[in-house]
């Protein structure tokens, strides 16, 4: 019984279970898709409980994270997606979908993901906020420059920033101020892991048929997504090591350079162009989740080797 309890507290087991259930029984995900936004808000709230309230009182300390967030999300990963898309994608709607993914800000999940794998959560938080604020300008400009129209309205990005970043931070500050964080902190990991179970299962479940219908048509997407997560992540880590950047900061920079808010891109694609244009966002999301699970497993293996 104790082993079963331990298993259901293990992050990598929970994430792997969500992926397997999403692929195998994802048809039921439509019934809980409403819960993704609340789950992300709860995850963000508990993930930011340990962040100091004086964080935004030192603007000078925010310059580097903000610049890094913009560089990694829009220039490094965005450039990789657009460059590979130009080389490998021939279908016009798939190309549109790739551009949409490349133009959106970093994934909100970077902040709790950073906390889960022991990165620099404060750095990731500031960098993500910087990515969203800059995205109010950069996202429409990228769409305008490449596709010829500003498809993603800044108001949509501002809404996501308010709902999934600013509001959870405010709630977490209230909990800390009222002393209500102490009962929550022992369960922080459990809440985060099972919150992500809901998110991962739902996203993969809703898009499971991407993997089973006409795989040849979307095979170039698999190559692009693998390259923009696993390959790009390895390259980022190598450069960070050469620059002698500390491990916690390396984790944050890696996530900032490999995780995009593909949910926003998928929503815009579905509304304006249809299912085909939304396929890149669906595949990108799935690869991002698999990549994060891989990072967690690798971290566990590394710790075991160190202990042995």
Is residue 45 predicted with pLDDT exceeding 90?
no
Q: Would you tell me how many other CB atoms lie within 10 Å of the CB of residue 158? A: 15
**SS3 of residue 106 by DSSP:** strand
Return the percentage of the chain with pLDDT > 90, whole number: 25
Burial letters 226-261, b for 16+ CB under 10 A, else e = ebbbbebbeebbeebeeeeeeebbbbbbbbbbbbbb
Q: What is the DSSP letter of 228?
A: I
Distance CA(113)–CA(193), nearest Å, equals: 10
Per-residue model confidence as pLDDT tens digits over 212-267: 777 777 889 999 999 999 999 999 999 999 999 999 999 999 999 999 988 778 76
Length reported for the chain: 308
**Cα dihedral angle (189, 36, 206, 82), rounded to 10 degrees?**
-90
Domains contained in the chain, CATH given: 29-206+213-300 (1.20.1530.20)
The tens digit of pLDDT for each residue in 166-188 reads 888 888 889 888 888 888 888 88
Task: Give pTM, 2 decimals.
Answer: 0.81
pLDDT in tens, 94-131: 999 899 899 988 988 898 889 888 889 989 989 998 88
């Amino acid at each position: 019984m104790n082993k079963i309890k331990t298993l259901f507290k293990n992050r990598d087991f929970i994430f792997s279970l969500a992926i397997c259930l999403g692929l195998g029984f994802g048809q039921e995900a439509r019934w809980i898709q409403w819960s993704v936004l609340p789950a992300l808000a709860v995850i963000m709230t508990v993930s930011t409980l340990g962040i100091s309230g004086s964080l935004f009182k030192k603007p000078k300390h925010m310059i580097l994270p903000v610049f890094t967030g913009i560089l990694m999300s829009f220039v490094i990963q965005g450039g990789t997606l657009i460059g590979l898309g130009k080389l490998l994608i021939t279908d016009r709607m798939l190309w549109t979908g790739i551009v949409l993914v490349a133009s959106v800000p970093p994934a909100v999940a970077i902040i709790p993901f950073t906390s889960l794998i022991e990165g620099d959560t404060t750095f990731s938080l500031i960098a993500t906020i910087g990515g969203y604020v800059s995205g109010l300008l950069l996202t429409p400009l990228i769409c305008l420059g490449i596709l010829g129209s500003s498809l993603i309205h800044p108001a949509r990005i501002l809404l996501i920033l308010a709902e999934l970043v600013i509001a959870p931070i405010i709630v977490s500050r209230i909990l800390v101020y009222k002393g209500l964080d102490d009962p929550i902190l022992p369960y922080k990991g459990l809440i985060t892991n099972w919150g992500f179970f809901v998110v991962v299962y739902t996203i993969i479940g809703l898009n499971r048929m991407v993997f089973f219908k006409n795989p040849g048509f979307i095979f170039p997407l698999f190559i692009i997504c693998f390259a923009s997560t696993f390959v790009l992540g390895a390259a980022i880590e190598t450069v960070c090591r050469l620059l002698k950047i500390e491990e916690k900061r390396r984790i944050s920079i890696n996530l900032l350079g490999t995780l995009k808010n593909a949910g926003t891109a998928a929503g815009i694609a579905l509304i304006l162009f249809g299912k085909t244009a939304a396929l890149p966002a669906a595949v990108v999301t799935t690869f991002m989740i698999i990549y994060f699970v891989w990072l967690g497993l690798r971290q566990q293996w590394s710790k075991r080797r160190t202990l042995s």
